[in-house]
Amino acid sequence: MTAEEIFIKARERDKYINLSTIYRTLNIFISKDIAIKLNLEKENKSMFQLNMMDHQHHIRCISCNKKIRIDKCPIIGYEYFIEENTNFHIIGHKLELYGYCSKCKDKKTIDIIKNIVSILYIIMDKYHI
Ligand SMILES: [Zn+2]
Ligand SMILES: [Zn+2]
C-alpha cells in the first residue's frame, strides 16, 4: 500500500487524521521493524507493507538438524513484483534453506568417498580386476 492508500483507509475510521500523521506513524513502524518500505523507482512511489512478526528464515542441516537463523529476508522486495504479475495479494511466505553444516559437510564428503570406494571394490571383485 502507498501512504496515500493507508491515509484513505485510516480516514474511514478517523476523519480528523492527516497525511503527516500517517507518515510519522509509518516512520515509527519502520524504525521498529513493524513495517517495511519499498521504493519503486520506476513508478516513483513508495510502498509500505507489514513486516510479519514471526517472519524468520532458517538454514537447516539435513544431517544433524542444526538450524541457523538468517537475518535478512531475500523475498520481501520480490513479493511486490509477484503480486503485480499474478494479481495475488500476498500475505506471507515460507523459505527454508537446507544443506550440510560445517561439521556434517566434511563427514558427508568422507561418506561419499567411502561409498565410491566400496562400490569400486564390489565392481573389481565381480569382474576380477
Ligand atoms: Zn549438521
Ligand atoms: Zn521472508
Sheet holding 96-99, edge to edge: 67-70, 57-61, 96-99
81 lies in some domain:
no
40 lies in some domain:
yes
Q: What is the pLDDT of residue 124?
A: 84
Residue 59: φ, ψ to 5°: -115, 130
Structurally, how many domains does the chain consist of?
Answer: 1
pLDDT tens digits for 59-70? 999 989 999 988
Residue 74: φ, ψ to 5°: -85, -5
Q: Is the predicted pLDDT of residue 53 greater than 80, yes or no?
A: no
State the Cα–Cα distance between residues 85 and 108, nearest whole angstrom: 41
Over residues 83-91, mean pLDDT: 86
Kindly report the pTM of this predicted structure: 0.46
Closest ligand to C-alpha of residue 105 is 1
1 lies in some domain:
yes
CA atoms within a 13 Å half-sphere pointing along the CA-CB vector of 100:
11
Over residues 95-121, mean pLDDT: 85
62 lies in some domain:
no
Q: What is the pLDDT of residue 113?
A: 81
Query: Quick one: DSSP state of residue 113?
Result: H
Q: Is the predicted pLDDT of residue 52 greater than 70, yes or no?
A: no
Ligand 2 centroid – CA 99 distance (Å)? 19
8 lies in some domain:
yes
Q: Is the predicted pLDDT of residue 4 greater than 60, yes or no?
A: yes
End-to-end CA distance of the chain: 70
- Name which of 38-42, 86-90, 114-118 the model is least confident about: 38-42
- State which residues form the domain around 34: 1-51
Closest ligand to C-alpha of residue 101 is 1
Query: Helix 3-13 vs helix 19-31: angle between axes, to the nearest 10 degrees?
Result: 110
Bridge partners (DSSP) of residue 45 are: 40
Band (54; pLDDT cuts 50, 70, 90): low
CATH code (residue 18): 1.10.10.10
